[in-house]
Structure 1
Amino acid sequence: MNITDSRVTTHIPGRVQAADVGLLLLRVVFGGLLAAAGLQKLFGWFGGQGLAATGTVFEQIGYSPGVFFAAVAGILETAGGLLLLFGLFTPLAASIVVGVMINAASATFSGGLFGPSGYQMALLYATAGAVIACTGAGVLALDHGRPWQREGAPWAVASIATGIAAAVAVLLANAVL
């Protein structure tokens, strides 16, 4: 097929496209920042407070027992961030991010969207996770071409829906505890 319009592009198998590089950049920066946030909670790395102090903060914002919920958040942020960074089990990673960030948005909602303790970062992170669920990790990912690779609309919907369901379950569990 000859296309003379320079605006039309076709995918050439084995060739990396600009969108693939963009997805790699998004995954590495976003996944790395999210993993670092989890490590701040768990171990106090990267200027974080560590688990005990983060647990106290979680208690103050209504998550009790605080240390338990801080550990869960730290583990999920670290795991989800690293999986995204490497482009590995991407629907699961995106689901983790969506679920954790819905809880973060819920916890900071009273601070308003743009307040110093607002929920804009949680909303941004949840959106990035949902976008990656929709686009897939790209060809520059450990998932690409593997038997376990899952992408497309059904997987995006399942990933986002699972994240929402997990977030609701955590919010309900917190209300009961």
Structure 2
Amino acid sequence: MDFGKLIVRLVVGGFFVGHGLQKLRGAFGGPGLEGTEQMMTALSMQPAKVNARAAALSETVGGAGIALGAGTPFAAAALIGTMATAVRKVHGKNGPWNSAGGWEYNAVLMSVVAGLTNDGPGDLSFDALIGKRRWGLGWGLFAVLAGFAGSTAAIEVGKRMAPPEDSTGSGDVSTDDPAAGATAESADAAI
């Protein structure tokens, strides 16, 4: 039996579900959709309303897929997309280490879900019921490439739809607006 994979799936997938519910419903002290929309605006992820829902649903549904071992490559792609976007819009500029707000934690999560896709979710999964105890390298690569492609598409759309005062799409927030600065800080903490 693959109890190790089950434990990893339940922990990683479960926390993704919780993180998604923070964005979606304000559960567990999260910002809810309104706060997530503000975060998306601060990050130049336009349209903010669509991106807020997409991030919240990707984490909630993708996390549930990983936890249940159901549609693992597609769940992994959704989660890799949200984590790649978090790295590119928030954590990348801080270097690798989490203690400095860096991207190490995001990289660990992406590698875990990619690895679970490649090696399969195990015997104790919904995928095993359809004969997919192991998805293989091709599906693992699919999850990574689809995740990064989705992230790139969302960021590029955000750049094109950014208001004229921030047409760079960089996500930089003016230091003249204290409310915008607070939103940027909460974005860093929420992703």
- Which TM class, normalised by the smaller chain length? 0.7 to 0.9
Per-residue Cα deviation, 1:34-74 (whole angstroms, up to 9, x for no partner): 01100000110011111111211221122223232111100
Pick the structure with more helix per residue. Answer: 2
What's the counterpart of residue 111 of structure 1? 94
User: Percent identity among equivalent residues?
Assistant: 30
Q: In the superposition, relative to structure 1, how do residues 46 and 116 fare at CA in structure 2: closer, same or farther (>3 Å)? A: farther
Q: How does 1:54-73 map to 2 (within 5 A)?
A: 54-73=36-55
Larger radius of gyration: 1
RMSD of Structure 2 on Structure 1 (CA): 1.8
Q: Which structure 2 residue ranges, 5 or more long, are not aligned?
A: 162-191
Q: Tell me the CA shift for residue 121 of structure 1.
A: 2.4
Is the CA contact 2:20–2:57 (under 8 Å) kept in the aligned structure 1?
A: yes
What's the counterpart of residue 33 of structure 2? 51
Q: How does 1:143-154 map to 2 (within 5 A)?
A: 143-146=127-130, 151-154=135-138
Q: Tell me the CA shift for residue 120 of structure 1.
A: 2.5
Q: TM-score, normalised by structure 2?
A: 0.76
What's the counterpart of residue 32 of structure 1? 14
Q: Which structure 1 residue ranges, 5 or more long, are not aligned?
A: 1-15
Q: TM-score, normalised by structure 1?
A: 0.82
Q: Tell me the CA shift for residue 130 of structure 1.
A: 1.3
Q: Tell me the CA shift for residue 33 of structure 1.
A: 0.2
In 2, the alpha carbon distance for the partners of 1:122 and 1:61 equals 17
Report how many residues are paired.
Answer: 159
Is the CA contact 1:113–1:120 (under 8 Å) kept in the aligned structure 2?
A: yes
- Which structure has more relative contact order (CA 8 Å, sep 6+)? It is 2
